[in-house]
């Protein structure tokens, strides 16, 4: 049986499109309904309570589009609101933390793993709890890198200022001799080159995007919810901010699949 309903994906802005890229690569027959909450971006410095409210509101909007599964494609929203979103909707919900932790636990040889993310992602302790539950022998070193998101938003992936900041942010992870590092923010895969340059080729960089896509495949397959369509699916993109700006930047994050975007006025809701 084939299920043609879309997979709902949301993020505080454009970063979640790195997760969409991975889902489209693994599941090219699946239509995607994406919401970027750009009017209220960034989530990283916001209180967890506020992020919970936003995340549940967006998940409920996605239900009106008849989604069959929801991906919280934002580390900040997963850290603060995964349980609340799961409780609020009748469809399966996938966050970006568990898949990344699982991959890191599998990959690390010296049992020292680094995590970089936004302030709320690091301070919520969500990654720390996940490691403590699944692999208490792994020593995790976490570092918030709030300015990385600004650089990505400016399209700056190579400047001297960025590299100086990367050296500063990543020094504690180098001191901790991590052999595996989680890019715990959906923007960071776009800084992979700079981060690899600073950390060196021996540190494995894991993005939550690829691991999350694998989880989405497994859940849809287990529940008999995969689409078996052979024609190209129609994707929908929506943003709470300027939809034209979203579509233009979205093409940089994802590619030509972002043909246009709708405006959903969450800020006024
Ligand atoms: N999607 C957000 C995250 O993964 C990007 C940054 C933000 O909203 O602060 O944490």
- Three-state SS string over the chain comes to CCCCCCEEEEECCCCCHHHHHHHHHHCCCCCEEEEECHHHCCCCCCCHHHHHHHHHHHHHHHHHCCCCEEEECCHHHHHHHHHHHHHHCCCCEECCHHHHHHHHHHHCCCCEEEEEECHHHHHCCHHHHHHHHHCCCCEEEEEECHHHHHHHHHCCCCCHHHHHHHHHHHHHHHHCCCCEEEEECCCHHHHHHHHHHHHCCCCEEEEHHHHHHHHHHHHHHHCCCCCCCCCCCCCEEEECCCHHHHHHHHHHHCCCCCCCCEECCHHHC
Ligand 1 atom nearest the C-alpha of 46 is: 9
Q: Is the CB of 76 under 6 A from ligand 1?
A: yes
Q: Is the CB of 15 under 6 A from ligand 1?
A: yes
Which residue, judged by its Cα, is nearest atom 1 of ligand 1? 74
Question: What residues contact 159, with CB distance under 8 A and at least 6 apart?
Answer: 151
pLDDT tens per residue across span 165-215? 999 999 999 999 999 999 999 999 989 999 999 999 999 999 988 889 999
Q: What are phi and psi of 159, to 5 degrees?
A: -70, 160
pLDDT tops 80 at residue 269: no
Task: Tell me which residue of 239, 240, 232 sits closest to 260, measured CA to CA.
Answer: 239
* Residues catalogued as catalytic: 74, 185
Q: How far is the CA of 120 from the centre of ligand 1 (A)?
A: 9
pLDDT tops 60 at residue 152: yes
**What whole-number distance in Å separates Cα of residue 2 and Cα of residue 25?**
19
pTM of the model: 0.93
Q: Is the CB of 42 under 6 A from ligand 1?
A: yes
Q: How far is the CA of 84 from the centre of ligand 1 (A)?
A: 18
What's the rounded mean pLDDT across residues 118-126?
94
* Average pLDDT score over the chain: 95
Task: Tell me which residue of 242, 262, 269, 266 sits closest to 34, measured CA to CA.
Answer: 262
Ligand 1 atom nearest the C-alpha of 44 is: 9
pLDDT tens per residue across span 226-244? 999 888 899 999 999 999 9
Q: Is the CB of 38 under 6 A from ligand 1?
A: no
CATH 3.40.50.1860 maps onto the chain at 7-95+210-263, 97-208
Query: What proportion of the chain, given as a percentage, has pLDDT over 70?
Result: 99
Quote the pLDDT of residue 248: 92
Class of domain 97-208: alpha beta
Q: How confident is the model at residue 268 (pLDDT cuts 50, 70, 90)?
A: low
Alpha-carbon distances, residue 201 vs 1, 103, 138, 230, 245 (angstroms): 45, 18, 21, 40, 35
7-95+210-263 under CATH 3.40.50.1860, yes or no: yes
Q: How confident is the model at residue 267 (pLDDT cuts 50, 70, 90)?
A: low
What's the rounded mean pLDDT across residues 65-94?
97
Q: Is the CB of 209 under 6 A from ligand 1?
A: no
**What whole-number distance in Å separates Cα of residue 214 and Cα of residue 96?**
11
**With contact defined as beta carbons under 8 Å apart, do 118 and 76 qualify?**
yes
Q: How confident is the model at residue 253 (pLDDT cuts 50, 70, 90)?
A: confident
Ligand 1 atom nearest the C-alpha of 76 is: 10
Question: What residues contact 212, with CB distance under 8 A and at least 6 apart?
Answer: 19, 22, 23, 71, 73, 94, 95, 96, 99, 100
Asked whether the CA dihedral 235, 37, 207, 160 is positive or negative, the reply is: positive
Q: How far is the CA of 41 from the centre of ligand 1 (A)?
A: 8
């Amino acid at each position: 049986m084939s299920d043609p309903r879309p997979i709902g994906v949301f993020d505080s802005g454009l970063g979640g499109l790195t997760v969409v890229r991975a889902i489209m690569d693994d599941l090219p027959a699946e239509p995607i309904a994406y919401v970027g909450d750009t009017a209220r971006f960034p989530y990283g410095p916001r209180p967890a309570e506020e992020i919970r409210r936003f995340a549940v509101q967006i998940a409920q909007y996605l239900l009106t589009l008849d989604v069959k599964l929801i991906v919280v494609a934002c580390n900040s929203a997963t850290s603060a609101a995964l349980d609340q979103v799961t409780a609020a909707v009748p469809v399966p919900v996938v966050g970006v933390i568990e898949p990344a932790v699982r991959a890191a636990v599998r990959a690390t040889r010296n049992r020292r793993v680094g995590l970089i993310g936004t302030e709320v992602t690091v301070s919520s302790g969500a990654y720390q709890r996940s490691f403590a539950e699944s692999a208490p022998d792994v020593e995790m070193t976490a570092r918030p890198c709030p300015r990385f998101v600004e650089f990505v938003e400016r399209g700056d992936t190579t400047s001297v200022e960025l590299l100086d900041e990367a050296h500063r942010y990543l020094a504690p992870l180098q001191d901790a001799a991590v052999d595996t590092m989680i890019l715990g923010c959906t923007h960071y895969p776009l800084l992979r080159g700079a981060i690899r340059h600073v950390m060196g080729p021996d540190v494995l960089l894991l993005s939550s995007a690829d691991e999350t896509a694998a989880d989405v495949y497994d859940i849809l397959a287990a529940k008999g919810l995969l689409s078996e369509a052979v024609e190209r699916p129609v994707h929908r993109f929506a943003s709470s901010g300027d939809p034209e700006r979203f579509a233009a930047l979205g093409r940089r994050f994802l590619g030509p699949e972002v043909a246009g975007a709708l405006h959903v006025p969450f800020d006024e809701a």
